Amino acid sequence: MALVEVRNLTKVFDLAESSFGGRRAGEVRAVDDVSLDIYEGETLGLVGESGSGKSTLGRLILRLIEPTSGAVVFHGVDLLKANGSELRRLRRDMQIIFQDPFGSLDPRYRVEDVIAEPLILHQQIIEQKGVGESLGRDARRQRVRELLCAVGMDESAMSRFPHEFSGGQRQRIGIARALALRPKFIVADEPVSALDVSVGAQIVNLLQQLQRDFGLTYLFISHSMPVVRYLSTRIAVMYGGKIVEIGSTEQITAQPQHDYTRKLLAATPEMAAS
């Protein structure tokens, strides 16, 4: 059974008002009747050009954006029908790694507080409901140390602020925060696109290691076919808000069926020649 089941998911945005006060007629179908499954323990790579709807789809799956129509089932539960308390419980198991390591960390917080924030919020829910694992301050600090170690950083980072770190280090901090509640499923939304090639490769290798260590399932979103091929178990190709092709990594890269997939591969010389 799939860990995540997406069925006929659609998101329509109305065109915004113009700067002259008039409203332009029409709408944008950012995600258009998308259906797919994500299986436990796999990495499903979602690839397509900018504006294809990839990031919107990732946020819809996590219900960070409300869909226009469709269904998302996580671990047998329909997310779109979940109420507040049930949705908060499910969100423990679903997290996101954002594209921008510079904008996704609150500059006012020290690294310890950035990573511990999900634990503190969860602690408040436990105190309200009287159920679940309770973590005191010392236990939270130890969890933060362990998470920093897991992403290749020293505990000395705990007392420092995000602006004191490089882009790759900030992304590692963001990954540690995403792991704080020990989720089952992570949407990695273009996590290396803002980094240079060598640092991005280190982050991709880290994600692979964390998947093995923590038993994670990924939806890995990227515009880079080589990165997606390297990391993914299966690949879904998105164009114009639709999934135009989905299959194993070998099938998609060796025997693409859709013209758009072939264009993506041809745009990367080393893949077109392989």
- The string of pLDDT tens digits covering residues 62-114 is 999 999 999 999 999 999 999 877 888 888 899 999 998 788 898 999 999 99
- The string of pLDDT tens digits covering residues 20-68 is 555 555 788 999 999 999 999 999 999 999 999 999 999 999 999 999 9
- Could you tell me which CATH class the domain 1-93+184-274 is placed in? alpha beta
From residue 120, how far is each of 39, 42, 115, 141 by CA, in Å?
30, 30, 10, 11
Flag whether pLDDT at 3 surpasses 80: yes
pLDDT given at position 113:
95
Residue limits of CATH 3.40.50.300 in the chain = 1-93+184-274
Provide the mean pLDDT of the chain: 90
pTM (two decimals)? 0.90
